[in-house]
Structure 1
Amino acid sequence: MFTLKDLARAINLRLSAAVSEIPIVSTDIREGFHRPSFYVDFDEATKAPRFDWAVERNVQVTIYFFPTSQYDYQLEMLDIQDRVESAFTGTLDLAPGGAFKAWIDEVSTIRVDGVLQTSFEIHYVEDKDDDGGADADMMEELSLDVDLE
């Protein structure tokens, strides 16, 4: 099963690939930070069982961007907004080689007190079994009646 740490790692890899020149900080931003930088936070996460074999996970993600200058940041923010929104449109690979993907819902961006905040929800469903159901009983025989009229 994928952990929140795995999800954070996948988000940080995607963000680093899109905007490689700006570091991602992981310390509490209330204790100070360098400019420019990103901070990634999970605002809300839910995990719910689906049927007997699956788990559904939804995570609300916010990426904070602190521009180089606190006062002159308009063009820098527009560039970063385009790049981050493009990076998080579609799906996110959670496993190497794209073997497992999560869906990204509606990317939205706002500017609050000179800080760019890009938010989106990540959604995925995975098997409860770590082995992908390798011990599950397989169907031996299937009988199918088809009426072609």
Structure 2
Amino acid sequence: MLTLKEIVRAINDKVEEVLPNIPIQSKNISDGYARPSLFIDLDNLTTSDYIGGKRERRLQVIIYFFPKDRTKTKMEILEVQEILEQAFSDQLMIKEGFAVYPFELNSVKVDGILQFSFEIYTLETKENDQESNADYMLELDVSIKGE
């Protein structure tokens, strides 16, 4: 099963790849932060399990960008916004054999801080430990006796 940690790790790796000079903060925003920096958060997570061992998950990713200068933010925000749009407009490899396609890319500037968000949708088959170790029947012989 895909974990939320794997999703966050893949997003962090992608952000570090495209914005290597801007650190990602892991502490809570309310605790203060260095500038410039990024903060990545997950929101609006919904998970549904279905008959047949399927799991559907939908979540919103929000990347906050805190520009270096609080008063002159326009050009710095536009640069970072463009980079993030390009980085997340194609597939995002979560782990080998599992990629997602971010959608609903959205950018909002609030109080000089860029809030870049997108959604991720996953549908996967849940692994069952008992089934994964079981031997599957290759042949079945059936004898039907008539009445």
TM norm structure 2:
0.86
In the TM superposition, what are the counterparts of 1:7-22 in structure 2 within 5 Å?
7-22=7-22
| Cα contact 1:39–1:63 (8 A) shared by 2 | yes
Aligned residue among 105, 119, 122 for 2:120: 122
Match for residue 6 of structure 1? 6
The answer to whether the 8 Å contact 1:103/1:124 transfers is no
CA distance in 1: counterparts of 2:64 and 2:137, whole angstroms: 47
In structure 1, stretches of 5+ residues that fail to align are 141-149
1:136/1:27 CA distance change after superposition, 3 Å: farther
Aligned length: 138
How far does the alpha carbon of each residue in 1:77-122 deviate from its partner, in whole angstroms, 9 at most, with x for none? 11000001111113211113xx111221121101000000001111
CA 139–20 in structure 1, closer or farther in 2 if over 3 Å, else same: farther
Report the alpha carbon displacement of residue 50 of structure 1 after superposing the two structures with TM: 3.1
Shift of 1:136: 8.0
Q: Which has the larger radius of gyration?
A: 2
- One-letter amino acid of the counterpart of residue 81, structure 2: Q
Extract structure 1 runs of 4+ deviating beyond 2 A.
Answer: 133-140
Unmatched runs of 5 consecutive residues or more in structure 2 = 140-147
Distance 1:79 1:21 in 2: 13
Determine what percentage of the aligned residue pairs are the same residue: 38
Identify the residue that residue 145 of structure 1 maps to in structure 2: none
Name the amino acid aligned to 2:93: D
SS at match of 2:33: coil
Name 2:85's counterpart in structure 1: 85
Q: For 1:1-149, list aligned pairs within 5 A.
A: 1-96=1-96, 99-129=97-127, 134=132, 135=134, 137=136
Q: Distance in 1 between matches of 2:128 and 2:51?
A: 16
* Cα distance in 1 between the residues matched to 2:138 and 2:87: 41
Which position in structure 2 is the counterpart of 1:143?
Answer: none
Number of the residue aligned with 2:142: none
RMSD: 2.0
SS in 2 for 1:79: helix
